[in-house]
Structure 1
Amino acid sequence: MKTSAEADFREYVADRWPRMLRTAYLLTGNHHDAEDLVQASLAKAYTRWERVQRADDPDAYVWRIMINTNVDRLRGLRVREWLTTRFPESQTADGTDRIVDRNLLLKALGRLPARQRAVLVLRFLEDRSETEVAKVLGTRVGTVRSHTARALARLRRDGTVLGLGNGRTPAAAGGRR
């Protein structure tokens, strides 16, 4: 047999549920969280139901329980959201591929004659023009061009550097001509 207090509580819940759910939704912004909030609040109100009934305004008492329960729920989350106009940093590689690429490139450059190696390093790794390379090496621009062509052909035949830097060879990687 149900007590009178339990019957009063059931009647109260049936009458107030839709209104409490709307308020809870506005507090939480999520339907599922709103239902959880109303249920938790009503569970607390049920344990204090005699005190709630004696209050001057039982609705205000229960709504205060709901507001405080929501505040407690938010304190537990402690997640801070920062609004920004920038996207978060994208994931970056760990850098081991760059080390492997660098080692392969150094080995391939080491197999070139010294003059050809110097021309490629100055042209493509230091990004110098043919004229600047000719001045540094004390030679003519035509000689720089021929050393560049021979060195790149040799690297292509070698095949070691073809897969470096996403399939780019030093000639495709840039540099002024």
Structure 2
Amino acid sequence: MARVPLDFQAFYQTYHRSYLRYALLQVGDEETALDLVEVVFARLLEDWPKVLREASVQRYGFSVLRHVIATHLSLARRSRALVETAAFEKVRVVVRRQLEVMESALGLYSAIARLPERQMDVIVLRFVLGYDMSCTAEIMGISTGTVRSHLHSARRRLAGEIGVRWDSWEAEEIA
């Protein structure tokens, strides 16, 4: 049996938890999310020399994750579970919120789910899962400036959809 390259092991240890949290929000089931993430890492390991030649290993890995999730959801004829799972992830973490806040959050999570893919990914990683800007950029394999740009566009779009004034809305209020 071939040895697993050390750089792959490091990549796996660095991103497995983030990928799993992201997949769980998308599919809504821990076992399925774990299976999908393992498929992602198996594909990456199989093509590891090719992956290392990519401009960004992180961006390539995250794109494989998104593709595997999208394929699974398509074959299962399901939509993303983000609306339900993101709301309940936040409720679990911040139990003290009242029911009216949760109803408002469901509308927000529905609006997030309708964002263009990259904007949605940045919002989910940054505010739903709580990663900071640099970690979000690292997970997605993009620059922090690109994260800021996607956040700016997503905040404008979300503010319009949920009916708040753009200039009075702080990004930290998303979660």
Give the TM-score of the pair, scaled to structure 2: 0.41
Bigger fraction of residues in helix? 2
TM-score by length of 1: 0.40
